[in-house]
Amino acid sequence: MNCLGCNLANKIGYVNVVFEDDYVCCILDHKPYNERHVLILPKKHIRYFDELDENIANSAIQASKIISKAIKKLFNPDGITICQNGGVFDELTHFHMHVVPRYEGQNFAEFYTEDGETHIEEKNKLEETKRNVIKAIKVLD
């Protein structure tokens, strides 16, 4: 199976990894809603939320917690949204979660529309963001 989500999670091709463990890989979204938008992907192919086994589910939740803490500490957003889109709304055809820093005045409904405004980072900015997030994760309690 040629699954884009599997390729991203298993680093087949270049991705900006900010955190990983035995079960999940967390990468910066290359077309972020906001700068520092992170995807959490299982390394094993899983399509739907209800297919997660206990290890992967626990790992994904722990990763979202770690990433949220790092983003809050480093970038001080007004809030963080953690979400998952399944079924026909999953463009990767691979389970993944979004961790998205949010700021007052943003209409998050735009995140779910094709025409919504995005705040795309330049490629060189992704590298800098990756370094900063990794550094913040390393100093967490």
φ and ψ of 26, to 5 deg: -115, 125
CATH of the domain at 43: 3.30.428.10
In the chain, how many domains are there? 1
Domain containing 71 equals 4-138
Measured CA to CA, the distance from residue 44 to residue 59 in angstroms comes to 12
- CA gap 125, 86 in Å, rounded: 29
- Examine the pLDDT at 31 and tell me if it is beyond 90: no
Q: What's the predicted TM-score (pTM) here?
A: 0.83
Q: CB within 8 A of 67, min separation 6: which ones?
A: 18, 19, 26, 38, 40, 99, 133, 137
Mean of per-residue pLDDT scores for the chain: 86
The pLDDT of residue 23? 98
Of the chain, the percentage scoring pLDDT greater than 70 comes to: 87
> 123: pLDDT confidence band, cut at 50, 70 and 90?
low
Query: What pLDDT score does 140 carry?
Result: 80
